[in-house]
């Protein structure tokens, strides 16, 4: 049970907004030992996961809610942005789009390609901020938190606070003896 508790805390700390259904996805970075425990867990209700990369001692996963991901990808502006990177969000299923993004991320991590900026879209960052990051090469941002903000600073700060509040609430539920399964069932 102690091993479960440790991996639950890791997942909750890094992915609380997606666990509580306020964000489409989060990255989860795990050591080899953590990954082994993560893979031994039962599925988390409402959450899908995809390994983006496995490297020297660590792996990067995307934990996501398929329905929320689909909601992000229906917007014509998002579809047009993703088309610049070879995605056909109008025709391809979410799983296929994520597989393509995972392949691009793996090539980046293996120093075979540049950073896949479209990852920000899949993480639920505002399109204008993703475009601003590209345009300004990560500089000249209004503020930074879960991402670098190039437009609507007030709304971004409110979102950052929501994510922190959700993370704290999930951590408190775990401290009180709850499990990730109960927490995610509560959010569904």
Whether the CB-CB separation of 69 and 21 falls below 8 Å is answered with no
pLDDT at 81 over 70: yes
Question: What pLDDT, on the 0 to 100 scale, is given for residue 15?
Answer: 96
The number of C-alpha atoms within 13 Å of 159 and in the hemisphere containing its C-beta is 17
The pTM for the full model equals: 0.92
Q: Measured between alpha carbons, how far is 145 from 167 in angstroms, rounded to an integer?
A: 14
Q: What is the DSSP string of 69-97?
A: HHHHHT-HHHHHHHHTTT--TTTS-HHHH
| pLDDT for residue 3 | 56
Q: Is pLDDT above 80 for 106?
A: yes
How many of the other CB atoms lie within 10 Å of CB of 182?
Answer: 13
Nearest Cα neighbor of 130 from 75, 82, 73 is: 82
Length of the chain: 188
Other Cβ atoms less than 10 A from the Cβ of 105: the count is: 23
Which residues face 29 on adjacent strands?
A: 60
Q: Which pLDDT belongs to residue 4?
A: 74
Check if the beta carbon of residue 20 is closer than 8 Å to that of residue 169.
Answer: yes
At 38, is the pLDDT very low, low, confident or very high (cuts 50, 70, 90)?
very high
Q: What is the mean pLDDT of residues 125-152?
A: 97
């Amino acid at each position: 049970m102690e091993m479960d508790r440790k991996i639950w805390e890791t997942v909750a700390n890094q992915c609380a907004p997606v666990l509580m259904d306020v964000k489409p996805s989060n990255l989860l970075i795990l050591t080899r030992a953590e990954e082994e425990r993560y893979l031994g867990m039962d599925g988390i209700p409402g959450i899908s996961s995809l390994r983006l990369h496995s490297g020297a001692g660590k792996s990067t996963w995307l934990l996501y809610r398929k329905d929320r991901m689909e909601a992000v990808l229906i917007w014509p502006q998002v579809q047009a942005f993703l088309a610049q990177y070879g995605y056909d969000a109008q025709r391809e299923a979410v799983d296929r789009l994520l597989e393509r993004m995972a392949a691009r991320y793996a090539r980046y991590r293996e120093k075979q390609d540049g950073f896949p900026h479209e990852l920000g879209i899949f993480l639920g960052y505002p399109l204008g901020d993703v475009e601003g990051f590209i345009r300004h090469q990560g500089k000249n941002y209004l503020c930074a938190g879960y991402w670098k903000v190039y437009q609507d600073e007030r709304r971004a700060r409110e979102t950052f606070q929501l994510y922190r509040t959700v993370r704290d609430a999930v951590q408190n539920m775990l401290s009180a003896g709850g499990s990730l399964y109960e927490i995610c069932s509560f959010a569904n």
